[in-house]
Structure 1
Amino acid sequence: MEEEEKEVDLLPPGDVFLLAGQSNMAGRGGVAHRRWDGVVPIECRPRPQILRFSAQSRWTLAEEPIHADIDAAKTCGVGPAMPFASALLSASPRPIGLVPCAVGGTAIADWAKGKKLYERMVGRAREALQWGAELKALLWFQGESDASSRESASAYGSNMEKLVSDLRSDLGLPSLPVIQIRDADGTVFSPPDEKIVSSGGKDEFWDEKIVRLEVSGGIWMGNPWIHIRRWQFARGKGSGWRR
């Protein structure tokens, strides 16, 4: 992203999506040795119908890296937000607003109500909706940090339930959909806790408004993290959300 954000002379977005989680949501595609190679795949390139809510609370043209001024202590690259938004535009031309909130290396406990990341996420969501837009969903990709022990992995389901409940309550949106990303081939979380973390210890999702969105793409396995280098959304599991 250029140092000066590109202000857009367009109407504010109609549909807004919160982006939260850790490094894979913040975007690490094309990052190696703390440097981003600057390569932007075609599905991640700017489009006038996709806007981004900056750290300065302004709507600007969305460009990679989407989280550059949010996960500012880390090197950000390509993430899932732009290909996700581009795919949505194929179903409807309604302008899309992305509200980045993700921070690399965070555990789900860091996103609990009262913690800095949670409160910032809620505050940014409220600011982004001041222009009359509709918050359509939370796009969530997190869990790698919680796969480090069986104890944290086993608690993931209940922690996620609490996070979703608190967010819906604080935003006054009791049916807010949550789109939870996981890798299609099951390699995002390290054994033996991959199944526990990815499903919250349950065979199915605990809420019909939580949709599992699977992705496939190149995987970079760097100890102890696993980062996705390129994005291709494979399929969704769940119900209750359509654009």
Structure 2
Amino acid sequence: MTTTTSSDYTLTLKQPKPYQVIQRYGYDPMKSYANHPGGPLSGQGTVIISGNISCSLEMAQLEARTVLMQDAYGEAVDWMKMEVEWRASTFQTTLKVPAGGWYRLELRLTDKSGDIMIESSVEPIGVGEVFVIAGQSYAENCNDEYLQIQDPEGRISCYDSIAGDWRIAHDPQPGVRIRDIHDTRLKGTIWPAAMNHLLPLLRVPIGMVNVAVSSTASRQWMPGERLYRQLLHAGKSVGDFRALLWQQGESDVIEATPTDVYISRLIAIKTELERQWEHSFLWMPAKSTLHPEVYSKPLEEGWIREAIHELWDTAGFAPGPDTDILGGIGIHRAVTANSQHFTLLGQQQAGMLWCISIWNMLQRI
């Protein structure tokens, strides 16, 4: 929350939050190129603005604008008079903002004569692409190296679904299993690498919320299970998002889950999430079955790979990457007892594969 106090009033801004990314809509890949007449059509987003004001609101007018921050993408919105829903001293309104950022959102409350009663702001915020991430260890903080966001302005952020805060998405990622980011058990992920590649292509901020948990099978993500509830909560917290990125399959290889069972589970999870979220979403599963330092099960790996391949052709799903091609032990995959996932090179190349898959998905919307 951001609280501003003047001599007579106090304004507490609850939404949006610093580093928050709002999902854009209206993006048309056919019209987003540099020389499109009138400029690239990158879309826009609806920013929810809410908070409290400690004053009488009779005849008061709330106004809002956005200001482009350093090296920002997008287009600023000049002062606009807002239509506000008031409940006692609590307010909520929405502002349509062109895709881009970072922006600084500025608010001011004026009286009936136009004099400013109080002003406030929050920064940075962005309108761009938001992704929910789930799965098991290759998606979590279990890989060899901490990766950093390379954009000087930090326009790739992550949401902590428990603390309720956004921050620049340097590793380790906030998750649901280990709460202390200084815990020495935490390692790196593949996601900064993926989004570092993707950001200059999209030219809009990127937001992520990661609820992956290592050593989990698809059955543990079914409706009613703890992991399902955590995923449900994460999706509700960020609102609309572009896609669910799913890096999982190794535990189902160990459990010898049949192809048809794996398919039916993911469809059941998706159906119930859409019912409870009250909106549809795109699910992008990776072919992630290889865990060479733990097992070699070509038959069972094939069952899960076939399930994911069939899901790629199922309505509501889209192809993620085939990270099983990164098979070199000691090259892409680590070999020691304390390091059993992607090496630095593996993280970087898995991130590149995810970037390609997301980019291809966005070209087909």
Into which bin does the TM-score normalised by the smaller protein fall?
0.7 to 0.9
Task: Give the Cα–Cα distance (whole angstroms) in 2 for the partners of residues 140 and 104 of structure 1.
Answer: 13
1:20 is aligned, of 115, 134, 155, to: 134
* Residue type of the alignment partner of 1:214: D
* Percent identity over paired residues: 19
Structure 1 residues 158-237: aligned runs within 5 Å: 158-174=264-280, 176-182=281-287, 187-188=290-291, 190-200=297-307, 205-208=312-315, 209-215=317-323, 216=326, 218-220=332-334, 227-229=341-343, 230-231=346-347, 232=349, 233-234=352-353, 236=357
Query: 1:10 is matched with which residue?
Result: 124
CA 1:96–1:138: 2 relative to 1, 3 Å: same
TM-fit CA distance, 1:141: 0.7
* Residue type of the alignment partner of 1:52: C
TM-fit CA distance, 1:178: 1.4
Contact 2:131 2:243 in 1 (8 A): yes
* Residue type of the alignment partner of 2:232: V
Query: 1:35 is matched with which residue?
Result: none
Higher relative contact order (CA closer than 8 Å, sequence separation 6+): 1
Query: 1:3 is matched with which residue?
Result: none
TM-fit CA distance, 1:161: 1.8
Task: Give the Cα–Cα distance (whole angstroms) in 2 for the partners of residues 28 and 190 of structure 1.
Answer: 22
TM-fit CA distance, 1:169: 2.8
CA 1:87–1:169: 2 relative to 1, 3 Å: farther
Query: 2:225 is matched with which residue?
Result: 115
Query: 2:203 is matched with which residue?
Result: 93
TM-score, structure 1 as length reference: 0.76
Which has the higher Rg, Structure 1 or Structure 2?
Answer: 2
CA 1:153–1:227: 2 relative to 1, 3 Å: farther
TM-score, structure 2 as length reference: 0.52
TM-fit CA distance, 1:86: 1.8
Spell out structure 1 runs of 4+ moving beyond 4 A. Answer: 151-154, 201-204
Task: Give the Cα–Cα distance (whole angstroms) in 1 for the partners of residues 340 and 299 of structure 2.
Answer: 15
State the Cα deviation string for residues 102-128 of structure 1 (Å, max 9, x = none).
111111111111211111211122112
Task: Give the Cα–Cα distance (whole angstroms) in 1 for the partners of residues 340 and 253 of structure 2.
Answer: 11
Q: Give the stretch that moved more between structures: 205-214 or 52-61.
A: 205-214
Contact 2:284 2:318 in 1 (8 A): yes
Give the strand-richer structure, 1 or 2.
2
CA 1:222–1:171: 2 relative to 1, 3 Å: farther
Q: CA RMSD in A?
A: 3.1
Unaligned runs of 5+ residues in structure 2 are 1-17, 20-122
